[in-house]
Amino acid sequence: MRAGFLDVVFPRRCAGCARGGWPFCPDCASSLTPLAPPWCARCGLPWPRPCDACPRCPPAELDGARAAFLYDGPARRAIHKLKFSGWRGVGAALGRAMAATEPPAADAVTWVPLARRRLAERGYDQAKVLAVAVARELGVPTVRPIRRAVSTGPQAQRSAAERRTAMRGAFAPNGRPCPPRVLLIDDVLTTGATAAACAVALRDAGARSVFLLVAGRAAPGATAHAYTRSGLRPGLWLPGDLPR
């Protein structure tokens, strides 16, 4: 009731441009790049032809990964509003898109825990906001069987190898039970180093399968959008040799 009243008095704006309608205005919606087949079966990154694995796959600690959108344009701006500008409502919209990627069946949904300092700065954990939205859409519970054991600092300027080194041992079980099949939620997948470190802790806590689901997939060097067949959603072409 209160939320409905506030939406009338203070209408929510487009998460991409902050001017049009909620959650994305027509211009921003048309600029989103949902990730769709043909793609890598393991990580969901589009390629010109289907493949079982690709050079961009996240580390082996993860059973697989999917992303709702390419981390670019309106999707990138929406994720930034969720992370840095207090737009918690963006999480519900992105969570619906994430659940629509049809991830594998899971016993529970969990998330990459935010560092205590950043949690205090932001007032909430954006990955948890997404996890709650995804769990609601999929009809499964949320669990929190791991904790952040080490604050690792910003990862943006680190190489993939440096990220892996920095994240080693960053998470640990917290003593709560962990179900066998876990869907791990985060906002963006870049190298997968953070999620892989979480997966190690989740398996130590009892998980047998850890599948990563994110709102945005960072793909440095990506080229223009391409349609594989008429009527399909836009995919993404990547430079270099095709995966085998």
Q: What residues does each domain of the chain span?
A: 36-236
How high is the pLDDT of residue 224?
39
Q: Following CA atoms 185, 190, 195, 196 in sequence, which dihedral angle do they give, to the nearest 10 degrees? A: 150
Q: Is the pLDDT of residue 230 over 60?
A: no
Q: Does residue 64 contact residue 195 with C-beta atoms inside 8 Å?
A: no
- Overall average pLDDT of the 129-154 stretch: 91
Report pLDDT digits (tens) over 32-90: 999 999 999 999 999 999 999 999 999 999 999 999 999 999 999 999 999 999 999 99
- Overall average pLDDT of the 204-229 stretch: 77
How high is the pLDDT of residue 115?
83
Report the distance separating Cα 132 and Cα 198, nearest Å.
18
Provide the mean pLDDT of the chain.
84
Report the distance separating Cα 230 and Cα 181, nearest Å.
36
How high is the pLDDT of residue 244?
39
Name the DSSP class of 142: B
Single pTM value for the model: 0.85
- Overall average pLDDT of the 100-122 stretch: 92
How high is the pLDDT of residue 170?
79
Report pLDDT digits (tens) over 116-129: 888 888 899 999 99
* Angle, CA of 117, 122 and 128, to the nearest 5°: 95
Q: Assign 150 a pLDDT band (cuts: 50, 70, 90).
A: confident
DSSP letter for each residue of 147-179: EE-S-----TTS-HHHHHHHHTT-EEE-SS---
How high is the pLDDT of residue 190?
92
Among 3.40.50, 1.20.120, 1.10.150, 3.30.1490, what is the CATH number of 36-236?
3.40.50
Among residues 235, 189, 233, the alpha carbon closest in space to that of 43 is found at 189
List the structure tokens of 19: 């001017």
